[in-house]
Structure 1
Amino acid sequence: MPSRSSGLLAPERAAGQTALLIIDMINCWDFPDAEKLLPCAASIAPRIAALKARCRRSGVPVIYANDNRGRWRSDFPALAQEALRQGGPGAEIASALKPDADDYFVLKPKQSAFFGTPLELLLQHLKASRLILTGVASDQCVLVTATEAGMRDLAVVVPRDCVASQSTARNALVLRQIEEFQKLPTTPSTRLRMIPHARHLQGRRRD
């Protein structure tokens, strides 16, 4: 049965009641296979940063979802600072995607950004029924999050130029799965049209 989410988000449009989710890009890259994933993550970071900038200009909220790595006393600001201190490509990614003061974040214990996190409640608070999923790894955390978003009747788009895995071949395989089996658009980020939220437009009129 086709996912309901495939009909809710036209490939050329990705705003309205939309939120941008950035998955596992703020990272210390100290896990198995990190040396393979890090170059691929670095290659998509500038495109995610550009998409985030467009979202912020349109009033589309930005949410970071990151592993807590079993550290139940951890917090996202500390993780971001640790990522910046480590130097190298990981620090460059963290600098390019450094959270703004009004961005949101959730820490996840497993692959899904929904499992064991307040993401669903946050999206309800934001009145967001559509998600733009970006980040790594496309065949793990991104894919599982997309599946769970569909189970919650959320519309989903996965920009093909803003997700990565440990290899080009793995990324291409999961993008095909997302398109053909989950019936979700993988429209490039540059083709996504941003429509300002009503609250954002009201704020502009008051300025």
Structure 2
Amino acid sequence: MPAKNVDLHGNVPDISKVALLLIDVINDFEYPEGDLLFKNSMEIVDQIVDLRKRAKEAGVPVIYVNDNYGKWQSDFLKLVAHTTNEKVRGKPFVDKLLPDEDDYFVLKPKHSAFYSTVLDTLLAYLKVETLILAGVAGNSCILFTANDAYMRDFHLYIPSDCIASNYAEDNRNAIKIMKTILDVDTRPQREIEFVCRNNEPDVP
């Protein structure tokens, strides 16, 4: 008999044409100009929370992609523990976006979610064709990830109200580049309607 992919609990894993990537949302904001990025990120966090909630209700897998902050011994749970410490600037942001047990996570060493990570393998495993990106920073990690996703022929949604950068002008410029050069759909997150086609989540 051919092998059948199952998870550790014996269930068929998520298979979805669409995936939501939350980029660097497990973030302490404890770095130069982190206060600026934190302020702007807090202005969009509720939009990301709503997008994540609607995606999960539609059966869309959520993938947290996060910097390892140059610490190769780190793991995702250690990052969560660190960023939810009372003394960390980013705690109010992270507290609203804590992962669930069924979410995926990928640690990245550089700006792009694809560079030297397992993301390509994971997306192929899930049979993803469309990516929705949200998180920080719009003019760096979001932009670099969008560029790499575009070169891999993914269909891209990056809601303009779900990304933030240190400076509003830089964020607007990044959105313009992604929309005009990378063919990204940048409509606000509430204008993205999740539907099911052939028992698979999709976006029109």
TM band (smaller chain) = 0.7 to 0.9
Determine which structure has the larger helix proportion and give its number.
Answer: 1
Gap change, CA 1:87 and 1:197, over 3 Å in 2:
farther
Paired residue for 1:125?
125
Give the number of aligned pairs: 186
Determine helix, strand or coil for the equivalent of 2:186: coil
**Distance of 2:81 and 2:195 partners within structure 1:** 32
Shift of 1:200: 6.6
Question: What displacement does 1:93 show?
Answer: 1.1
1:17 matched residue in structure 2:
17
1:140 match:
140
Name the residue aligned to 1:58.
Answer: 58
Q: Which amino acid aligns with 1:170?
A: D
Structure 2: segments with no counterpart, 5+ residues = 1-15
Q: CA deviation at 1:87?
A: 4.5
Aligned to 1:70: 70
Alignment correspondent of 1:161 = 161
Farther off after superposition, 179-188 or 82-91? 82-91
Matches within 5 A, 1:18-33: 18-33=18-33
**Contact preservation (8 Å) 1:42, 1:90:** no
After the TM superposition, which segments of 4 or more aligned residues of structure 1 sit over 2 Å from their partners?
Answer: 86-89, 196-201
Query: Root-mean-square deviation (CA), in Å?
Result: 1.6
Percent identity, please.
39
1:116 aligns to what?
Answer: 116
Deviation of 1:196 (Å): 3.6
What is the CA distance between 1:102 and its match in structure 2? 0.3
- Aligned residue for 1:13? none
Q: Residues 94, 24 of structure 1: CA spacing in aligned structure 2 closer, same or farther, 3 A cutoff?
A: same
Partner residue of 1:187? 187
5+ unaligned residues in a row in structure 1: which ranges? Answer: 1-15, 202-207
Q: Higher relative contact order at CA 8 Å, sep ≥6: structure 1 or structure 2?
A: 1
**1-structure distance, mates of 2:100, 2:171:** 29
- The 2-side partners of 1:156 and 1:77 are apart by 28
